[in-house]
């Protein structure tokens, strides 16, 4: 810290001080609202990280929080794009997204009621919106549109009860109990996705961008929570989330070249076509083999396609 102050910051003060003392008013107000008057003066006006050492940690935490919220606003957009383009829910678990939506709705309500800084939980707003869209699309592509509608109605009801209702439908004591359960839900939300990837032997339509951003985000949230929020319920949830996000990230790496991982299926199919398997399929080859055993000539002149249900067949004589 001393070396940073004396060797880098102090020599730059003559150049930086005129800039930091003449920041646009909105920028200055934002800095004060994020850091407080004391840290704003120490870090931006005085360019001093030694007299108020806690201010530097606070500034790093705030910067991480803003970065997490910014990334969260688009973290699942690639997943949505893959889902819409493929119109397939392969490799995706509705249960996982449903549980995560429930967990984040509770966490959002808990943070709002306790008046915690938005920079420590703001990403939940954007992730909820994206999770709801993905979960609904999964149901639609699974041909369960009525269930998708019921899911949307359930989410709207939860938003009203936890964030809008002012009549005490959910008391503060109940909110704390729900938050304790939300940590378990957050953990449980990852397990179906991990199991789905394991059972399918690939990540399907799962987005690598979302997985690795989640991993970095959960790690950063551990730091910001330790710095700004004295709440073991929230901290425990982020620690557990990081561990399971690490498992998903490891699966993503392990199954990267799996034929059932989106983006690699075409390559696997192409390799099969070279051998003839990709063009006719195992069932077609089996059918052709059976015809040969029965003494039926198979080939171009016989008119047998080697595919069950095709329009080709034995040519009629005459």
Q: What is the mean pLDDT of residues 69-96?
A: 88
Q: Dihedral of CA 217/240/77/257: which sign?
A: positive
Indicate the residue among 223, 254, 285 that finishes a domain: 254
So what's the pLDDT on residue 294?
A: 53
Judgement on whether residues 43 and 75 belong to the same structural domain of the protein: no
Three-class SS of residue 298? coil
Q: Inform me whether the pLDDT recorded for 263 exceeds 70.
A: no
Q: What percent of the chain has pLDDT over 90?
A: 24
Crossing angle of the two packed helices 232-254 and 208-228, in degrees rounded to 10? 160
Q: How many domains does the structure of the chain reveal?
A: 2
Tell me, yes or no, whether 179 lies in a domain: yes
Three-class SS of residue 261? strand
- Long-range own/partner contacts, residues 213-218 (CB < 8 A, 24 or more apart): 213/71, 213/75, 214/75, 214/245, 214/248, 215/242, 215/245, 215/246, 215/248, 215/249, 217/68, 217/71, 217/72, 217/75, 217/123, 218/242, 218/245
Q: What is the mean pLDDT of residues 59-66?
A: 89
In sequence order, the β-bridge partners of residue 204 are 261
So what's the pLDDT on residue 159?
A: 93
Judgement on whether residues 84 and 185 belong to the same structural domain of the protein: yes
So what's the pLDDT on residue 80?
A: 92
**Choice between 11 and 289, residue whose per-residue pLDDT is larger:** 11
Judgement on whether residues 201 and 149 belong to the same structural domain of the protein: yes
pTM of structure = 0.66
Tell me, yes or no, whether 93 lies in a domain: yes
State pLDDT tens for residues 113-167.
Answer: 888 888 888 889 999 999 999 999 999 999 999 999 999 999 999 999 998 887 8
Indicate the residue among 203, 236, 254 that finishes a domain: 254
State pLDDT tens for residues 166-210.
Answer: 788 888 889 989 988 887 887 788 888 888 888 888 887 788 888
Tell me, yes or no, whether 213 lies in a domain: yes
Tell me, yes or no, whether 122 lies in a domain: yes
Judgement on whether residues 15 and 97 belong to the same structural domain of the protein: no
Range of the domain at 235: 64-254
Indicate the residue among 254, 281, 304 that finishes a domain: 254
Q: What percent of the chain has pLDDT over 70?
A: 81
* Residue 200 near residue 90, CB atoms below 8 Å: yes
**Choice between 111 and 303, residue whose per-residue pLDDT is larger:** 111
State pLDDT tens for residues 273-306.
Answer: 333 333 334 444 444 455 455 555 544 433 444 4
Q: Inform me whether the pLDDT recorded for 248 exceeds 80.
A: yes
Tell me, yes or no, whether 9 lies in a domain: yes
């Amino acid at each position: 810290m001393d070396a940073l102050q004396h060797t880098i910051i102090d020599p730059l003060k003559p150049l930086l001080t005129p800039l930091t003392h003449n920041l646009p008013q909105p920028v200055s107000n934002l800095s004060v609202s994020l850091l407080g008057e004391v840290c704003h003066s120490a870090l931006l006006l005085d360019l001093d990280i030694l007299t108020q050492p806690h201010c530097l940690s606070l500034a790093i935490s705030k910067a991480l929080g803003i970065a997490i919220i910014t990334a969260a606003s688009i973290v699942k957009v690639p997943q949505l794009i893959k889902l819409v383009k493929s119109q397939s829910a392969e490799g995706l678990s509705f249960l996982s997204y449903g549980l995560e939506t429930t967990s984040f709705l509770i966490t959002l309500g808990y943070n709002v009621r306790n008046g915690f800084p938005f920079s420590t939980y703001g990403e939940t707003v954007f992730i909820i919106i994206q999770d709801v869209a993905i979960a609904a699309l999964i149901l639609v592509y699974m041909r369960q549109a009525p269930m998708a509608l019921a899911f949307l109605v359930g989410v709207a009801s939860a938003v009203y009860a936890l964030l809008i209702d002012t009549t005490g439908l959910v008391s503060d004591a109940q909110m704390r109990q729900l938050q304790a359960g939300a940590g378990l839900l957050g953990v449980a939300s990852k397990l179906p996705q991990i199991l789905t990837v394991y059972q399918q032997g690939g990540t399907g339509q799962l987005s690598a961008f979302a997985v690795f951003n989640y991993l970095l985000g959960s790690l950063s949230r551990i730091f910001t929570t330790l710095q700004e929020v004295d709440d073991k319920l929230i901290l425990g949830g982020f620690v557990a989330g990081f561990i399971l996000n690490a498992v998903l990230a490891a699966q993503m790496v392990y199954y990267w070249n799996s034929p059932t991982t989106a983006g690699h299926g075409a390559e696997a199919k192409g390799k099969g076509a070279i051998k003839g398997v990709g063009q006719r399929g195992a069932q077609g080859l089996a059918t052709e083999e059976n015809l040969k055993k029965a003494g039926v000539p198979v080939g171009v002149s016989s008119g047998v396609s080697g595919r069950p249900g095709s329009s080709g067949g034995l040519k009629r004589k005459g």
